[in-house]
Structure 1
């Protein structure tokens, strides 16, 4: 997955990352619950005498394993969908935890399982340790899962004779250690997530800068070269309309020569602002293609609709010019306009050439005019 595919809002990104981490960290966990139960059963005093309990436990932990593996996260979910997936997946985790806690207590209470009691206790320690280190992103839920793993066994040991006291005290002390570790891991995960989010935001800012003209804050030629073929392909695939407007500021070199390059830069910035005032739809792509040449990509816009907008822009520019540096600067522009057509054969290059030719005709015919692309 590229940075462009990642969720952009901080809240959704944090949920998305938590979903990915939870999914990755639970894949193997379910298998170990099943393996631990099979070991307890097979190393009991008489496995065949406990066939029903053995098969029931195996079926339960096998079902929990399948639930973990088959519960796939939403491909591109909303915050509500991601949160719903987490809630359901944590339901499976907590069910596995209480299931193992009861299995541990069963092994300790059942005489025939006494040879496997150490296996069950070690497995409980291992599962609770994994919970503290791997699932501390949800601290309260992880704490609940640890208690569900621990408490049935602790209660069984507490009700036993003096021979279990040492084991009971040791497990209680280890439980307190796990709670401390879980709190520390929770803070570390939050710090890691904040750093990852900061890095993603920096990458997005750099990507935006690489696609933005620094002077006018419009899209640059790099963005046009990436966007234009994709929009042409989309228009052809869906049979929709796509209009392209190319514009050149007339006699821009004269502005630089007579007023200086700082005035020329101010003129380019003002031209970009005027474009934003006329081409205001979110779907329109406003671009500076280089020098004094500009472009507007207008999806789902007919040639006539685009022509009216372009003419209004040209007339306003010719009538109003710009007020820059306390003086009036008369400015006009030559425009070429076309709509993606079947005669282009799906070629973005052919479409661009038709519109570019129209722009050059506008210049050749006296400038300050709009010419439509042939075809």
Structure 2
């Protein structure tokens, strides 16, 4: 998955990372449970006599393996979908661990498995070690899985204390080590996840800075160049309306020449703030395209709606102007407004040119006016 596709919300990213790691680390686990049972059964003293039990074990562990493989990661990154997948997958892991724990206890208790008890015990050690070091994402679940793997066998060894006390004590000590290792592994996993989240946040901040005009805090030209073609393509594909408003502050050079660039910067900031007040819908994208030229992308907005909002902005600016050092300076803007027309606009560039031409017509018509691109 590319960086641009990574979930950005910390909670969603943590769930996504856990699901990815769980899926990757559990891919072959089910196969080894099946293999361990086959070796334990086939190397027992009487595999033919236990044919039905042997095949039943093969069927069960094959089913667990199949269910793991079929439980594929969700296509969507919604937290609820990820939680559901994780809960379902951990249910399979815990059920398999429980089944192997009772299998190990049975093998230790039944004399027919005297030749293959070591296989079952070593398999239990291998499975529990893999759990402690590879499945520490959910510490509580991993603790439970370890206990399900070990406790039935330890109970069986307790019943055979005189013959198996050395094995019992050794396995009990190893279980205590695995519990400590699991706790340490969980801390390391959480620390790594925290570091990933910090890096993701830093990357997002850098991307935001690269897309934001530092003076006005609106989107910059780079952001417009990446956003505009995507919005046009979406409008063309779904036959939705998309309006574009281009604004140019009238005679802005005279403001800089008469009052200085600091005043000019304050003027640009005030202009941007008024844009935020008028074009305040969450779907509107407000941008500074360069110098004194601004733009507003308005998805789901008809030409008439865009016209009304743009004209209200022009009138508001004309009536109130710009206040600096207690002095009110007149400030106006020329606007070009257009709506994407798939029959007329063969590309995003063609749509932009049509609205840009309307803006230049407004400037040529004496400024402080609005021209619709539809009549250009």
**CA–CA separation in structure 1 for the residues paired with 2:261 and 2:176:** 71
Deviation per residue, 1:120-177 (Å, 9 max, x gap) = 0000001111111111221121111111101111111111152311111100110110
Counterpart in 1 of 2:86?
86
3-state SS, counterpart of residue 245 of structure 2: strand
Alpha-carbon distance, 1:256 to partner = 0.9
Question: In structure 2, how many angstroms separate the alpha carbons of the residues matched to 1:272 and 1:349?
Answer: 25
In 2, the alpha carbon distance for the partners of 1:365 and 1:146 equals 80
Shift of 1:316: 1.0
Change (3 A) 1:120 1:322: same
3-state secondary structure, aligned to 1:296: strand
8 A contact 1:362–1:370 mirrored in 2: yes
SS across alignment from 1:341: coil
Q: Secondary structure at the match of 1:363?
A: helix
- Which of 154-163 and 258-267 deviates more? 154-163
User: Number of aligned pairs?
Assistant: 375
Structure 1 pair 255–345 and aligned structure 2 pair: CA distance change class (3 A): closer
Aligned to 2:235: 235
Offset, 1:4: 3.1
Deviations 1:216-249 (A, max 9, x none): 1111111111111111111111222111111111
Give, in whole Å, the separation in 2 of the partners of 1:161 and 1:180. Answer: 26
**Distance (whole Å) between structure 2 residues aligned to residue 337 and residue 172 of structure 1:** 77
> 1:171 corresponds to which residue?
171
Moved over 6 A (4+): none
1:209: Cα distance to partner?
0.9
**Distance (whole Å) between structure 2 residues aligned to residue 252 and residue 216 of structure 1:** 16
Q: Which moved more, 1:98-107 or 1:73-82?
A: 73-82
Q: What is the match of residue 68 of structure 2?
A: 68
- Asked if 1:153 corresponds to 2:159, the answer is no
Structure 1 distance, partners of 2:167, 2:96, is 23
The one-character-per-residue Cα deviations of 1:81-134 (angstroms, maximum 9, x if unpaired) are 222222121110110001111111111122221111111000000111111111
Q: Secondary structure at the match of 1:323?
A: strand
Q: Could you tell me which residue of structure 1 aligns to residue 251 of structure 2? A: 251
The equivalent residue for 1:318 is 318
Query: Does structure 2 retain, via aligned residues, the 8 Å contact 1:37–1:57?
Result: yes
| Secondary structure of the corresponding residue to residue 115 of structure 1 | coil
Partner of 1:265: 265
Shift of 1:75: 1.6
SS at 1:355 equivalent: helix
Residue number in structure 2 paired with 1:289: 289
Q: Equivalents in 2 of 1:54, 1:368: separation in Å?
A: 88
**What TM-score does the superposition give when structure 2 sets the normalisation length?**
0.97
How far is 1:15 from its partner?
Answer: 1.5
Which residue is equivalent to 1:116? 116
- Structure 2 unaligned residues grouped into runs of 5+: none
Change (3 A) 1:345 1:333: closer
Q: Contact 1:3/1:200 (CA < 8 Å) preserved in 2?
A: no
Kept in 2: contact 1:213–1:288 (CA 8 A):
yes
Q: Which structure 2 residues correspond to residues 95-106 of structure 1 after superposition, within 5 A?
A: 95-106=95-106
RMSD, aligned α-carbons? 1.3
In 2, distance between residues paired with 1:372 and 1:91?
Answer: 61
> SS state of the match for residue 342, structure 1?
coil
Q: Secondary structure at the match of 1:48?
A: coil
Contact 1:232–1:346 (8 Å) recurs in 2: no
Alpha-carbon contact 2:7-2:77 (below 8 Å) kept: no
Distance 2:137 2:185 in 1: 8
Name the SS for the 1:49 alignment partner: coil
1:267–1:257 Cα change, 3 Å: same
Measured after TM superposition, the shift of residue 77 of structure 1 is 4.1
> Equivalent residue for 1:198?
198
Q: How far apart, CA to CA, are the structure 2 residues paired with 1:140 and 1:372? A: 63
Residue 303 of structure 1 is matched in structure 2 by: 303
SS at match of 1:244: strand
The separation in 1 between residues aligned to 2:325 and 2:2, in whole angstroms, is: 45
Q: TM-score, normalised by structure 1?
A: 0.97
SS of aligned partner of 1:247: strand
Say whether the 8 Å CA contact 2:12–2:77 is kept in structure 1.
Answer: no
* Residues in 1 aligned to 2:196 and 2:362: alpha-carbon distance in whole angstroms: 51
